[in-house]
Amino acid sequence: KAGVTQTPRYLIKTRGQQVTLSCSPISGHRSVSWYQQTPGQGLQFLFEYFSETQRNKGNFPGRFSGRQFSNSRSEMNVSTLELGDSALYLCASSPAQPREGQYFGPGTRLTVT
Amino acid sequence: GENVEQHPSTLSVQEGDSAVIKCTYSDSASNYFPWYKQELGKGPQLIIDIRSNVGEKKDQRIAVTLNKTAKHFSLHITETQPEDSAVYFCAVRPESSASKIIFGSGTRLSIRP
């Protein structure tokens, strides 16, 4: 079974721009979660989607948003990029409930200049 | 909200020796405790998990113990090998927010040849 895939793997953007990251979960997985990883703050939960509905959200500003499609693929969007948004953005999928175990993709490395 | 503390932040052990990483959590209702291994350039990989109705779980050289009364859990790696070098994260899923996971700050494990 193919793992979680994320595109693109690397991205360089300028302050003020917006960006969209994509995640394809493991086949059959319906829950997709997004995390931001930085050296200073570690791994922080952004949001989780299940059946196209956001079930939970972390403590991030409204510039961070996401959505999930009927095939469980998910996208996250960051508008008005700031330097502090530079991070590794990780997507994780699980069958139904995240308590069943989450499986991470390789991440998208976003650099904001 | 839930808070997870992980120690030590760095750990260096001789190849063949054991390594132990400890985590404490604050929410006594938390019921799922996974451990992840992250190698350079990759997303976190689920290596073992334990649920609150179990005190210990073993998988070959890896074991996790859980003390619900004291609210702490530990990862034990025996007979360490060079490929065990990575960053390890403990995590907790709070009962109050079943669709999100809270990560510890990570332990960088180095295996000396």
**pLDDT tens sequence across B63-98:** 999 999 999 999 999 999 999 999 999 999 887 666
For residue A41, name the pLDDT band (cuts at 50, 70, 90): confident
pLDDT digits (tens, 9 = 90+) for B50-71: 987 778 999 999 999 999 999 9
Query: Is omega for the bond preceding A8 within 30 degrees of 0, making it cis?
Result: yes
Beta-carbon separation of B99 and A105 below 8 A: no
Per-residue model confidence (pLDDT) at position A98: 56
Beta-carbon separation of B43 and A56 below 8 A: no
Q: From CA A53, how far away is CA B83, in angstroms rounded?
A: 39
Nearest chain B Cα distance for residue A79, angstroms: 23
Contact between A59 and B97 under an 8 Å Cβ cutoff? The reply is no
Portion 26-85 of B in contact with A at CB < 8 A: 31-32, 34, 36, 41-46, 49
For residue B50, the chain A residues in CB contact (below 8 A) are none
**Higher-pLDDT residue of A51, A100:** A51
For residue B100, name the pLDDT band (cuts at 50, 70, 90): confident
Paired with A13 in beta bridges are: A112
Say which residue the tokens 């999100």 belong to.
B100
Per-residue model confidence (pLDDT) at position A17: 98
Mean pLDDT of chain A: 93
